Amino acid sequence: MAAHDTAHQPNAQGVIHYQPEEHGTWQRLITRQQAALSGKGCDEYQAGLARLALPTDHIPQLAEINRVLQGCTGWSVAAVPALISFDRFFALLANRQFPVATFIRRRDQLDYLQEPDIFHEVFGHCAMLTNPEFAHFTHLYGQLGLRASKEERVLLARLYWFTVEFGLINTADGLKIYGGGILSSIGETAYALSGAPQLQPFDLLEVLRTPYRIDIMQPIYFVLPNFTSLYQLSEAQIMAALAQAQRLGLHPPRFAPAPDQQAS
């Protein structure tokens, strides 16, 4: 059975019932990832995680997440299956709702799962949505994506990938992680700060022209100077950069092509 086939539907009271084995998987994932992230997650993420106060012995209910997010930034989460359409994805973000898949990976998928599960979405992403600057950027991104053409959405996907999913940030205490794809991955957490990948200062045009693959360790990360630089990105700036990136085209990939997919 595919992972997304195990997505759970909330009952009439909005409660999702999980099996003991699923709670056990959450406990194993969150315990080891909290240990792996020691000293590596940015302060904004750590502060958000403290606000969420995620349980370690069971999967949290979405209403618990919503109470924190709404109080911090006016955001909430929306229960979805693992994969949703781009239209649905952008519409949710534009409405300050973050999509959260309601299944959790199997025990044999602890280290890697291509589809986003509830651990990735909640542990990896929701803490950053307590930060007003980051939440503002994510909302703007959703608004832009909702109005974008199919071609523009391909480029916008790279902006999301290299920030929300796989972003790093410079701090007074050194390089830190803020991207949810790293924060929720045991392997990527170790790799991202290992010195192996190439690091580049965040540059909007470069991000939009850089291809990526979803099934490998990232060969390149873009490093923010601060979250204000994301907050200050305007619709006009992003749309102008999209147009320029379309004219200039993609950089050559820094990886071999996947057997069954093209570079994004």
Distance of alpha carbon 77 from alpha carbon 48, whole angstroms: 15
Closest CA to 183 of 3, 38, 21: 38
The one-letter amino acid at 71: G
CA distance 212 to 232: 25
Q: Say what percent of the chain tops pLDDT 70.
A: 95
pLDDT higher than 80, residue 260: no
Q: Which of 125, 139, 152, 185 is catalytic?
A: 125
Overall number of domains in the chain = 1
139 annotated as a binding-site residue = no
152 is in an annotated binding site: no
Q: Is 152 a catalytic residue?
A: no
Determine, yes or no, domain membership for 224: yes
Residue 263, pLDDT > 60, answer: no
Q: Which residue has the tokens 């790279």?
A: 158
Bridge partners, 199 (sequence order): 221
pLDDT tens-digit map of 9-62:
888 888 999 999 999 999 999 999 999 999 999 999 999 999 999 999 999 999
Residue 137: CB atoms within 10 A of its CB come to 21
Residue 22 known to be catalytic: no
Inter-residue contact 75 to 55 (CB < 8 Å):
no
Task: Report residue 89's pLDDT band, with 50, 70 and 90 as the boundaries.
Answer: very high
Tell me which of 121, 139, 184, 188 is the catalytic residue. Answer: 184
| Residue 259, domain member (yes or no) | no
pLDDT over 70 (residue 131): yes
Which CATH number characterizes residue 67's domain? 1.10.800.10
With a CB cutoff of 8 Å and minimum separation 6, the contacts of 245 are 155, 205, 208, 209
Give start and end residues of each alpha helix (H) in 175-264: 180-183, 186-192, 204-208, 228-231, 235-248
- What pLDDT score was predicted for residue 113? 67
As a whole number of angstroms, the distance between CA 102 and CA 118 comes to: 6
Q: Does 4 participate in catalysis according to the annotation?
A: no
Domain contains 85: yes
Task: Transcribe 125-162 into DSSP letters.
Answer: IITGGGSHHHHHHHHHHHHHHHH--HHHHHHHHHHHII
Mean pLDDT of 209-228: 95
136 in a domain, yes or no? yes
Residue 106 tokens read as 């199997």
pLDDT > 60? residue 160: yes
Query: Which one of 22, 44, 152, 165 is the catalytic residue?
Result: 165
Residue 7 confidence class, pLDDT cut points 50, 70, 90: confident
In a domain, 174, yes or no: yes
β-strands 168-171, 174-177 pairing: antiparallel
- Report the chain's C-alpha Rg in angstroms: 18
101 to 49, 60, 80, 119, 229: CA distances (angstroms) = 19, 13, 5, 9, 29
The answer to whether residue 47 sits within a structural domain is yes
Task: State the distance between the two ends of the chain, measured CA to CA, in whole angstroms.
Answer: 27
Give the residue numbers spanning the domain of 53: 20-248
For residue 190, being part of any structural domain is answered with: yes
Whether residue 188 contacts residue 182, with contact meaning beta carbons closer than 8 Å, is answered with yes
Instruction: Tell me whether residue 81 is in a domain.
Output: yes
Global pTM? Answer: 0.93
Active-site residue 120, yes or no?
Answer: yes
User: For the chain, what is the mean pLDDT?
Assistant: 93
Catalytic pick among 76, 120, 121, 185: 120
165 is in an annotated binding site: yes
